[in-house]
Structure formats: structure tokens, C-alpha cells
């Protein structure tokens, strides 16, 4: 006898303290995932506007309050425990800082990493940037110009998709 399959669980990371376009998009994605039978979990700083709105929308919240840096060891370990305990399938990051956090927290868990890049500024060519972008299973850009920047930085084309914003 088999039960119903587990819902797709996506852990959305956001460390911003303001309510802006990126946070609005995260809320819409979480609401959309719930409407389609999935399970969104938001990892956010305590007391930020997105936490209040997500809670009102019935989305689960995990508090992450980095002590020193976004990718500090306690934050990474806490998120890794959440990924394993909640059987997270995908970790979604939407900024360079949360991309580093996603790459470190998902390491060794089997969760896929999706990174949505909403800017066209060139990537830095340093080793940490190359490392974290190499960890992403899929990179989403809101424009072809953004894709060009990712490809110029050495990201493999088969991992990049354009999903226009709006």
C-alpha cells in the first residue's frame, strides 16, 4: 500500500529586511506553489515585512538571523537541518548572498539549488563567486542580457533559463 506522494517542498531564502520587488516575487511564488499542491517554506530574518505577509498567506516560516555573516556556520547548519528534516527538494535563492547560503546549506543533502538572478551586472570572477554559481542546478535570469552575463562568467548554457519578470 502506498500513500500519496509527498508535496514538492521548496525552501525560499531571503535575508533582506525591506519589502521590495524581490520579496513580492517570493511571496507570489510561495502562494503559487501552495495553490498547486506544493509546500513552500520561507527562511527569513525575524520581523521583516515578508515574514508577516507570508504568515498571513499561510506559508511556513523558519527564522534565520545571521550573527556575523549570511553564510555563518550556525545559519548554514540550521538550514541544513531544515532541508533534511522537511525533505526539501529545492532550495531557491534570489541574491548573491543567499546563493552562497544555499550552496553551503544544501551541500550533501540531495536538494537541488535554483538561483533567480534579477540583475544584469557582470559576475565577479573570484573563486567564491565561481564556486557558488557552479553549485546551482538551474540559474534563472529575467532577461537575455542577464543570461549573457552568466555565460560570460563560465556558467554552462544548459543550466540557464530566461523567465521574464512581470
State the Cα angle at 93 between 69 and 156, rounded to 5°.
115
Distance linking the first and last C-alpha atoms of the chain: 44
Report whether pLDDT(1) > 60: no
- In this structure, of 11-20, 36-45, 56-65, 119-128, the range with the lowest mean pLDDT score is 119-128
Is a pLDDT exceeding 90 seen at residue 147? no
Edge-to-edge order in the sheet of strand 9-13: 60-63, 39-44, 9-13, 90-93, 112-117, 138-141, 160-162
pTM: 0.90
* Average pLDDT over every residue of 27-45: 96
Cα–Cα distance for residue pair 98/114, rounded to 1 Å: 11
CATH 3.40.50.2000 fits 9-162, yes or no: yes
CA distance 24 to 56: 14
CA distance to 126, 140, 162, per residue, from 148 (Å): 18, 12, 11
Matching residue, cell 556556520:
73
Please name the residue that has the C-alpha cell 535563492: 93
Give percent above pLDDT 70 in the chain: 93
> What are the structural domain ranges in the chain?
9-162
Asked if residues 42 and 12 have their Cβ atoms less than 8 Å apart, the reply is yes
**Consecutive H or E run containing 140:** strand 138-141
Query: pLDDT tens across 109-138, in order?
Result: 999 999 998 887 777 778 888 888 889 999
Q: pLDDT grade, residue 161 (50/70/90)? A: very high
Please state, rounded to an integer, the average pLDDT across all residues of the chain: 89
Amino acid at each position: 500500500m502506498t500513500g500519496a506522494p509527498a508535496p514538492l517542498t521548496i525552501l525560499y531564502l531571503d535575508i533582506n529586511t525591506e519589502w521590495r520587488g524581490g520579496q513580492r516575487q517570493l511571496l507570489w511564488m510561495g502562494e503559487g506553489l501552495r495553490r498547486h499542491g506544493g509546500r513552500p517554506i520561507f527562511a527569513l530574518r525575524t520581523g521583516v515585512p515578508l515574514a508577516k505577509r507570508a504568515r498571513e498567506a499561510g506559508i511556513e516560516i523558519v527564522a534565520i538571523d545571521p550573527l556575523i555573516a549570511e553564510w555563518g556556520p550556525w545559519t548554514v547548519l540550521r538550514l541544513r537541518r531544515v532541508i533534511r528534516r522537511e525533505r526539501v527538494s529545492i532550495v531557491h535563492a534570489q541574491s548573491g548572498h543567499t546563493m552562497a547560503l544555499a550552496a553551503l546549506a544544501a551541500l550533501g543533502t540531495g536538494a537541488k539549488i535554483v538561483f533567480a538572478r534579477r540583475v544584469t551586472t557582470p559576475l565577479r570572477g573570484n573563486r567564491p563567486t565561481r564556486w557558488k554559481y557552479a553549485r546551482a542546478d538551474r540559474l534563472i535570469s529575467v532577461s537575455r542580457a542577464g543570461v549573457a552575463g552568466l555565460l560570460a562568467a563560465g556558467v554552462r548554457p544548459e543550466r540557464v533559463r530566461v523567465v521574464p519578470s512581470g
